[in-house]
Amino acid sequence: MKYPKIGIRPTIDGRWGGVRESLEEQTMNMAKTAKALIEKELRYADGTPVQCVIADTNIGGGAEAAKCAEKFSTENVVATLTVTPCWCYGSETMDLDPRTIKAVWGFNGTERPGAVYLAAVMAAYAQRGLPAFSIYGHDVQDAADTSVPADVKEKILRFARAAVAIGQMKDKAYVNIGGISMGIAGSDAQASFFQNYLGMRTEWVDMTEILRRMKLEIYDDKEFEVARAWAEKNCKEGLDINDDDSLQENIRRSKVVPYEEEWDFCVKHALICKDILFGNPVLAEKGWHEEALGRNGISGGFQGQRQWTDWLPNADFTEAILSSTFDWNGARAPIAFATENDTLNGTAMLFGTLITNRAPIFSDVRTYWSPESVERVTGHKLEGVAANGVIHLINSGASCLDGSGAALNENGEGCMKEFWNMTEGDIAACLEATDWRAANHQYFRGGGFSSHFITEAEMPITMIRVNIIDGVGPTLQIAEGHTAHIPQEVSKTLEDRTDTTWPTTWFAPRTGMKGFETVYDVMANWGANHGASVYGHVGADLITMASMLRIPVVMHNVEDVDVFRPHSFKGFGTKDLEGSDLRACSFYGPLYK
């Protein structure tokens, strides 16, 4: 992997003869402090620490700025953090590369006017049409204070986390296996969106490629044996709701893969989809050199319904396992892999996974259950985080097994973890919490298995959706809240009213803000039938990332004080942050356009 890096630019007062010399060590140390902070706290998707690179010298003017830019051009620097404790010459020291995402940390001290430089260079960036983030501590520090205040630390990490997420997407591919599923607009992959906003390529692979590779055995035979044995041991079968005798004869004839061969089929499907995205050198050893290369994927989706599932086992096993933080080989990075090839929800999954390094939950945003409706149907009065009602997140494909909330944190509470923190006990618990129910043959005539669990733990999560609006372009929706525990018998009654073969998460969004007046309003304002959820309240990080990509956030329940966008966005208005975001994103246009 070619890791995207954060370039750190220490800038300094250019006046030699006493002023600059007195600041050399302090300025460079500030850069080293920022580097140490980022590399300690942040990781890439594969678990390795994020890398930073520092300019060889402090930057006092244009010549040194050019040398820094030359160095960064060979280091895959995707974002720059300029740091300074003092006044510097704004337009002479600023990062002018239009390809890098920019931030400036000006030390809040009285001995030297770092804040004055920060204001001056922000004005320069705004005039040059180069959006940059302003980082400035709330409280004055002494000149000798080398600590990083909590508010500064938060902004530096938020900036770096979002920038590294963007860097990991660049030049990778979203791989569409199949096309549009059942008229779902999100399945219509817009190549221009991926190219202009995310810097990604779009790839298309017909679903018949899966059958070709099965027929010709273009997969790793040894890995298949391992995966199949693992599935037999760990994937326990659950309820079978089918009564095939009640189906009309042509529907019964549509199931062409015998029951006893379904698990073999489903496991091969998962192996092959993974190989299509990422390649597999073992295939070259078998003489399949083109297939061994893969598609340079970072995420993807499988159409399934209906041309596939009307006669072949569904892709639920593939979707659930690829999106989880583990498989038959043990713990590994989750893969954002979308049900029904909903590329826009796949993008939301990718955003959430890259920001958190945790597995994404793909769900139908199925039903709003008011407290009154729940009590009428079940006799139970909702309480706790669910007291104002819940949204039933349930997936007609399959969600990551991490979504069961069976992994435990240090306090013994259910959670979702980064793959490098998943213990064997956590993996076993997620598998134990999941049963694999026979696919509903009324929907999936070809059979297969759907992962089923009920999220019992109450966890902080953030639900995300990318939409494309004609006249606006791509937009982002964000809803922070909690998964809700509902008594088992009550949950079962509600589940049985839809399809009990699918995984269930009861979601209680945080309400009380505009657009989030009630849980009902969240459901009513959601832009599509799907949503992606990730562990933690990460709405502020997603807002920062979206502003870097120039994707306006049109719905969120993050407090204004936590919204961190480029400083020049304030020039488009400060009273209505949502409106200024829309105007700024429209003016600046896509990051890669």
Query: Where do the DSSP E strands lie in 115-186?
Result: 132-136, 173-177
Q: Considering only CA atoms, which of 530, 443, 477, 476 is closest in space to residue 186? A: 530
| 3-state DSSP assignment of residue 22 | helix
Distance CA 547, CA 82 (A): 19
Burial of 149 (0-12, 13-18, 19+ CB in 10 A): middle
Paired tokens of 8: 């750190």
**489 labelled catalytic:** no
Whole-angstrom CA distances from 348 to 20, 255, 353, 541, 542 are: 47, 33, 9, 13, 10
Burial of 215 (0-12, 13-18, 19+ CB in 10 A): exposed
Tell me which H or E stretch contains 153: helix 150-169
What residues does 106 pair with on adjacent strands?
Answer: 84, 136
Paired tokens of 360: 């994404």
Contact, 502 vs 395, CB < 8 A? yes
Q: Considering only CA atoms, which of 136, 78, 76 is closest in space to residue 104? A: 136
Contact, 48 vs 33, CB < 8 A? no
Paired tokens of 399: 């969600």
Q: What distance lies between CA 233 and its chain's CA centroid?
A: 31
Contact, 42 vs 162, CB < 8 A? no
Q: Considering only CA atoms, which of 306, 312, 238 is closest in space to residue 268? A: 312
Contact, 49 vs 43, CB < 8 A? yes
Cis, peptide link before residue 306, omega less than 30° from 0: yes
Query: How are strands ordered across the β-sheet holding 201-205?
Result: 201-205, 173-177, 297-302, 336-339
**413 labelled catalytic:** no
What residues does 392 pair with on adjacent strands?
Answer: 367, 506
Paired tokens of 544: 């920062």
Q: Considering only CA atoms, which of 107, 122, 125, 12 is closest in space to residue 63? A: 12
- Could you give the maximum distance between any two Cα atoms of the chain, in Å? 93
Out of 291, 364, 418, 499, which one is annotated catalytic? Answer: 364
Q: Considering only CA atoms, which of 478, 438, 437, 486 is closest in space to residue 461? A: 478
Out of 275, 340, 480, 581, which one is annotated catalytic? Answer: 340
Determine phi and psi for 384, rounding to 5 degrees: 65, -140
DSSP state of 138: S
Q: Considering only CA atoms, which of 280, 301, 298, 302 is closest in space to residue 289? A: 280
Tell me which H or E stretch contains 465: strand 460-469
Whole-angstrom CA distances from 196 to 10, 187, 469, 551 are: 31, 18, 16, 11
Paired tokens of 165: 């997420």
% helix / strand / coil in the chain, to the nearest 5?
Answer: 40, 20, 40
Q: Which residues are catalytic?
A: 340, 364
